[in-house]
Structure 1
């Protein structure tokens, strides 16, 4: 999803009283800490209840209206909210707000107080985003994850936004995620994130996020197609090209074939594009992941496939909505990533896979990815069309959505013939 972030910075003023899994998402100590933590808490409790138990997050009914509040008025409103949510800011009387460029759905600000010097991140949700994001679920997970040292610590919420810890990190670039060493580091971290389901297992009745989103977004897209078609001849011809009614009618068949892949359901980020992964500006060079708007329980194949799809994006180019399929990782690059993912699994479990077992595991993951890359294209294609109809941000969401849908339709045609033999 095109939501590139910029540089974030970290403050260590708040300490957790609970066992900390890591100061970064990508830390090999996860499983031992997870095991220790799990001895004292009921892993079967719903995530929402656990979030309330782990981390009481302050909240206020205040709201920021970015359309009418500008300049000093905006700063006064922001400072008033921060003071209510973060007691340490009670003696601050002046702030500077720097808006992060490039964020596509939310307005994100670095808020700095000079005397005394403090910094936080202020996030104001975009208009209409509640159609796409389950805020209650997101905040529940943020509360859990931040208390485990994963991502930025959630400091408080207001009606249409939240205040987060400020991280001293550098956002990765489109080239960084292709770097072999960084790619392997991301792979290991992705396994650690997936392993969170060992502490907070999903219920068998839980619907995976990909299908939950598709079920919710398809009716929205159906309702807005007439309005999109009226925008221009280009919009109309592109929409007609997809024959979306036919595509929607084949979703049960598509799901049937994906379910047959038996990809394990784990806790997933679902949006590990390069703008959501950052490297600390210290001697460790460790990585941290941010923006958990779309996180939840999903097939592991979806999360890995979705990351591979993000290799094709360049959100800071002259055509930020254009995808470049030729940049999708080669088979060798995929295998290298998967080997690191499985290395982390074996390390966490204290096992050593035989060459035969490792080869089978890699092939299984490749099969999962082959199918779920199509699910990623379809889900974010729907997302793009919805944003094209409602977002006021200067970004070609329609092009982004249609490019993802084109990749789905073309790929599904080939994959359907392969799995059905027709």
Structure 2
């Protein structure tokens, strides 16, 4: 726990002047703080793109404090997203009662309402009750009617990230990850996965446990952080969530994925049954199994997305995370599962 009075505090020095001014203004408006300048700054672990801090002030009420969240954007990650689009999405979702309120913006980050709920841990995703709550919330999220074009972003995102990865990767690295042939893989995968029956919805595209909060009293779920949110096949968003069950970003080796933790068929069917019935209509067996199959195929797209993300992040982000080893695991999983899921001949490794 760190206080502002310590002038040598390196964490507090990470806050730009404009962020400090916003925090000071917020504390003054609330009027119940003991000292508007006596804030405490607590780093939150697990973020792999931004630095995130909980900021709190002691108030005149015993054992009560005011809290906000400060998010400092990672340097060089604009290749992944458009911050203005993200903020518009953030504000819209907030107005729908789906997430925290935006309290202030500064040039390198923003200040958000602190949700009085706990962030999930990796083990929570394996809890059947919590998993059911997530399924219902994802259905609700996918039904959001976000203003603007409703075009699928997945394939353009993959191609844009591939272009960025090629530009930034040393020749040996590009060869090791077979980036020169990746355009063909993306095009073939797009063709294989395209189907008129698929549902397109507003997808979060990064429903990992660190982006899910649970209010223990009301048992309500909130999905946060909309950096990658956009319209996509809902099967992709669910597939990505299943893949995230293999990760634990709070270990000594946060980049290591444990594929044996990927949910089995019965677990996936239970999740998708909850998802499809969240609107009050019971799905047919055929509808359920079709979504099961679609989701499994879209895990391949998830592996490519986060594999490319890992390559780029290695060169633009200074957060302590082994992005290259993470990327290698995602690509290896792609090549391993491609034949089983699509019935294609696996490409021979270089």
Interval of TM-score (by shorter of Structure 1 and Structure 2): 0.7 to 0.9
**Are 1:173 and 2:99 counterparts?**
no
Q: What is the Cα deviation at residue 85 of structure 1?
A: 6.9
CA distance in 2, matches of 1:358, 1:364: 10
Map 1:118-267; keep pairs closer than 5 Å: 118-197=66-145, 200=146, 203=149, 206-226=150-170, 229=172, 236=173, 240-260=175-195, 262-267=197-202
CA distance in 2, matches of 1:382, 1:218: 6
Which residue of 2 is the match for residue 310 of structure 1? 244
Which residue of 2 is the match for residue 97 of structure 1? 41
CA distance in 2, matches of 1:272, 1:344: 18
Does the C-alpha gap of structure 1 residues 373 and 73 become closer, same or farther in structure 2, counting only changes over 3 Å?
Answer: closer
Contact 2:159–2:183 (8 Å) recurs in 1: no
Higher relative contact order (CA 8 A, sep 6+): 1
Q: What is the Cα deviation at residue 388 of structure 1?
A: 0.8
CA distance in 1, matches of 2:334, 2:134: 25
**Are 1:70 and 2:10 counterparts?**
yes
CA distance in 2, matches of 1:298, 1:75: 35
**Are 1:331 and 2:265 counterparts?**
yes
Does the C-alpha gap of structure 1 residues 361 and 108 become closer, same or farther in structure 2, counting only changes over 3 Å?
Answer: same
Which residue of 1 is the match for residue 208 of structure 2? 273
CA distance in 2, matches of 1:121, 1:105: 15
CA distance in 2, matches of 1:401, 1:84: 42
**Are 1:320 and 2:268 counterparts?**
no
Q: What is the Cα deviation at residue 105 of structure 1?
A: 1.5
Cα displacement string for residues 283-331 of structure 1 (whole angstroms, at most 9, x for unaligned residues): 2222211111111111000011000001111111222101111111100
Q: Choose which of 210, 227, 232 in structure 2 pairs with 1:293.
A: 227
Runs of 5+ in structure 2 lacking a partner? 1-7
CA distance in 2, matches of 1:157, 1:85: 12
SS of residue paired to 1:175: helix
Contact 2:142–2:203 (8 Å) recurs in 1: yes
Q: What is the Cα deviation at residue 92 of structure 1?
A: 2.1
Which residue of 1 is the match for residue 21 of structure 2? 80
Does the C-alpha gap of structure 1 residues 256 and 171 become closer, same or farther in structure 2, counting only changes over 3 Å?
Answer: same
SS of residue paired to 2:290: helix
Q: What is the Cα deviation at residue 408 of structure 1?
A: 1.5
RMSD: 2.5
Does the C-alpha gap of structure 1 residues 73 and 222 become closer, same or farther in structure 2, counting only changes over 3 Å?
Answer: closer
CA distance in 1, matches of 2:290, 2:340: 19
TM-score, normalised via structure 2 length: 0.87
Map 1:350-365; keep pairs closer than 5 Å: 351=281, 353=282, 358-365=284-291
Alignment coverage as a number of residue pairs: 331
Contact 1:280–1:286 (8 Å) recurs in 2: yes
Runs of 5+ in structure 1 lacking a partner? 1-67, 230-235
Contact 2:297–2:342 (8 Å) recurs in 1: no
Q: What is the Cα deviation at residue 419 of structure 1?
A: 10
**Are 1:404 and 2:326 counterparts?**
no
